[in-house]
Amino acid sequence: MRYLLLLSVTGFGITFEPAAGPGFVLEHSPGPDKYLAATMPGGLAVLDYNNDGRPDLFFANGAELPSFQKTGPKYWNRLYRNDGGFRFTDVTATAGLAGEGYAFGAAAADFDNDGYVDLFVPALPASKLYRNKGDGTFAETALPRTGPWTVAAGWFDYDRDGRPDLFVVNYLGWSPGNNPWCGDRAKNLRVYCHPRHFSTLPNQLLRNMGDGTFTDVSQASGLTKFPGKGMSVAFGDYDDDGYVDAFVTNDGLPNSLFRNEGNGTFTERAFAAGVALPDRGLAISSMGTDFRDYDNDGRPDVVVTALAGESFPLYRNLGKGQFQESTAQARLAPLVARRSGWGVVLADFDNDGKKDLFTANSHVNDMIRETSSDLYLLPNSIFRNQDGKSFADVTPASAALAGQAAAHRGAVAADLDGDGRLDVVVTQLGGAAEIWRNTTVNENSFVFVPAGLNATVTVGGQTNAATSAVGYSSSTSGPVHFGLGPVRGAVEALIRAPGAATATRWRGTARVR
């Protein structure tokens, strides 16, 4: 076990303390040849693979590619079983999830509806789908060809047939053989090439046929008409028409919002909806994203992480298919101006009934200090949702001094110890995964509501989504968490599956830690 000094957030009712990590180290890190793939790993997944009620951890790491890693050991993906009390056991070998290729992230969902969560692992040059056999092991399952460079993915039932389909996010036309020299030759300063040096790629849609096979319907669905440079995907029914839509962050290009037309096809509506670009009208290095209702008005909103000077745009859903950038109104703009972010999570960390914002931070360019005042290694951030309209930075000023600056990438939130408070797991290039234990002390209650994939869940005046795609190339699977503030006793949730005429009622009890 490795013990990490993690950020302690004090005041405003949110605190985190160090916890024992599983010992996972994300081996990939920047090298002198500036292979673009080397800076892109770091996605992870939280899933209860053995149905014991405790969320387990999967980290994408992947084997080295001989074509651009000539020497050294091979690095494998890792699955850690949660044994309780922040103790984890490496079960990768038994589970059969070591993998191959250069893996970037994970997407978890029960695609065959057998009650066990399966895994898709986006990778270069070939991604993998692993079916959970229910006995602690996984079996590789055939898929149509994806890529050539898949960096993220997510599950959603786009055709409402009851079977999770796979949305595949492809990045750009880089390869080890197409790795131009970029930088300042006079200073012998080589940096990662900007995405503009590489071609766009279309995303893919793989339809679940229900017999263990998938069909590539990317062209028939219309996705191939809108190539981009995708980094992450998140899902939500933004226009409340009963069909789940997909939002994709694009690196250096306008974002994409694929509206589900309900007939097997999608139209690209990002500009029309107001989420293609920030208000200033310039494309940014959009990376991670989450698609949830931060202001408790019943409509899913969108948040995006990007590089320093680009802000972390927050798009408020106004209804009728329209968004408005609300970064400034939410007081986020000055708080994130000098930050660069990857993973991002909208979740209620103090159980007060309002979703807070966590970001995993780092610049993409490890040589950024040679050309600007921006920093490569950064501490993570947490912003408390004060009133459903604005956020306050409750990251302690001593975080960087405490040694928290790192090349952070993926981030997920989950209740790892079963105490009702959402903990955080973060990866970092070349370093050990961080486990942040939520030690917030208050009298607020909580509830976890079981719901099917893509369902909209409402408790009181709150709405949340049962979605597995979150942040940067990462995934969570399990019941939907709600902080309830002072509520006590019986709690009723309304669970509405996409397109359902009526909601299902679920009754539970508010719990206090």
Token pair 């990490």 is found at: 4
pLDDT tops 60 at residue 332? yes
Q: Torsions phi, psi of 369, nearest 5?
A: -70, -15
Contacts of 397 (CB under 8 A, 6+ apart): none
Q: Confidence class of residue 74 from pLDDT cuts 50, 70 and 90?
A: low
The larger pLDDT score, comparing residue 354 to residue 370, is at 354
Q: Which residues 6+ apart lie within 8 Å of 399 measured at CB?
A: 7, 379, 380
Mean pLDDT score of the chain = 92
Q: Tell me what pLDDT residue 67 has.
A: 54
Adjacency order of strands within the sheet including 314-319: 289-292, 301-304, 314-319, 322-325
- Lowest-pLDDT choice from 53-67, 142-156, 339-353: 53-67
pLDDT surpasses 50 at 402: no
Q: How many CA atoms lie within 13 A of 106 on its CB side?
A: 30
pLDDT reading at 165 higher than 60? yes
Q: What's the token pair of residue 435?
A: 């486990």
pLDDT tens for 2-40 read 333 333 333 446 777 878 889 899 988 888 889 999 899
Nearest to 479 by CA among 443, 441, 440, 506: 506
Residue corresponding to tokens 């939410």:
330
* Bond from prior residue into 164 cis (ω within 30 degrees of 0): no
Q: Which of 472, 478, 481 is nearest to 508 (CA)?
A: 481
> What pTM was computed for the model?
0.95
| Position 306, amino acid | A
- Please classify residue 226 by burial: count the beta carbons closer than 10 Å to its beta carbon, then call 0-12 exposed, 13-18 middle and 19+ buried: middle
- Return d(Cα 205, Cα 199) in angstroms, integer: 20
What pLDDT is attached to residue 20? 83
187-217: per-residue pLDDT in tens? 899 999 999 999 999 999 999 999 999 999 9
Tens of pLDDT, residues 451-488: 999 999 999 999 999 999 999 999 999 999 999 999 99
How is residue 504 written in tokens? 């299902």
For the four alpha carbons of 166, 172, 177 and 182, in that order, the dihedral sign comes to negative
Position 292 pLDDT exceeds 90: yes
| Sequence-separated (6 or more) residues with CB below 8 Å from residue 236 | 244, 245, 247, 291, 292, 300, 302, 465, 467
> Do you know the residue count of the chain?
513
Q: What is the mean pLDDT of residues 434-444?
A: 91
- Comparing 275 with 1, which gets the higher pLDDT? 275
Cα 50 to Cα 82: distance, rounded to the nearest angstrom: 10
Tell me the percentage of the chain whose pLDDT exceeds 70.
93
Sign of CA dihedral 387, 241, 467, 482: positive
Q: What is the pLDDT of residue 31?
A: 84
pLDDT at 64: 61
Tokens 């997407």 locate to: 107
